[in-house]
Chains A and B, each alone.
Chain A
Amino acid sequence: MNIPPSLIILSLVVLFLTLFFVVGINESLPAFVKTEYDSICNRYFSNIIINGGLTSTDITNLKNELTQLGLSNININIFMDGDINTPAPPDRKIEWGRRATLLVTADYEYESVSFNGGKKSSKHTLKYENSSTVLSLDND
């Protein structure tokens, strides 16, 4: 059987174009979520530095925003002096000049196309951690 060369090239173009999009979607989905996740966490981290911590309402709001993003198993830790065993006092009571860290972990599960043509479930654990000194004088 004599296959025209142009048909071979067309098949290769289609094959690699498909591969390109599969890789693109597989890699882009978690990346977009990660960027949004960092942006949300960073907003609350700024609140910690400016206000001396988060209230329980703030923490609930943060959890809700991350849940709406499609994340599960969300853990939020605010601790002081770079030591996870020194939790921050609740309700914006971290003193001026103390080192505060926001650590948030969450799972992102999504379905992607596998190379054998089916769907596969993928899970990424996202982590946000940032540290600075509290600049609020209102809670001393």
Chain B
Amino acid sequence: MKITFLLLATFIIIFFIFGAFALVDLIKINIITVQSEDKMIAAAWSGFTEIDLNKLAVRKNIENEENRDIYLDKEKAENIIRQYIKYNFRLDDLYMPKEDSFINSKDHPLIIEKLEIYNPDDYTSSTITIKGKNINRTSIYIYFKVPIEFSFIGTLYKELHIVVDSKTFYSTNQQ
């Protein structure tokens, strides 16, 4: 009988200790997620300065401000976005977090799984859907994974998706 109570007491102690650590980790996930999305959206925004001037010269809809077509130079836009990602997240050239990075796992890289730039001829020639939303403006989509170090279990990756378009921006995230 006493052993049963002892085991129960041990279980309760362990449960609450791990519960406290789990709570701290949940808060950590929330803070790193919000910061990561903000910084990635800012980085994606930088791509909108890399306009494809050749296409701009012959584009249609130029007078309609609301529906004006914007074509981005995909290669240049991706290069500048990657520069800003490294700067905003404080990453080295291998995307490893530097000492002053807000990412708490310093020995795992940030992973960019997808960096897609959609110009008007992409979304008019075929339907592009990201996270249930149709792309109907010039958009930049980034799917990335942020390393987060947890108590006891080490580093896990949080998957995040952001979409920035030429008018508004929104983000979605996936656990």
Contact = CB atoms under 8 A, between A and B. Distances in A.
B5 A8 contact: yes
A27 B35 CA distance: 18
Contacts of A38: 34-35, 38
Interface residues of A, number: 32
A16 B12 contact: yes
A8 B9 contact: yes
Contacts of A23: 20, 23-24
Contact of A5 (B2, B42, B43, B45): B2
B64 interface: no
Interface majority SS (helix, strand, loop, mixed), chain B: helix
- Classify chain B: how many residues form its interface, as a range: 20 to 34
B9 A9 contact: yes
A131 B88 contact: yes
Q: Chain A at the B interface: mostly helix, strand, loop or mixed?
A: helix
A130 interface: yes
Nearest to B6: A5
A39 B34 CA distance: 9
B9 A133 contact: no
B1 A5 contact: yes
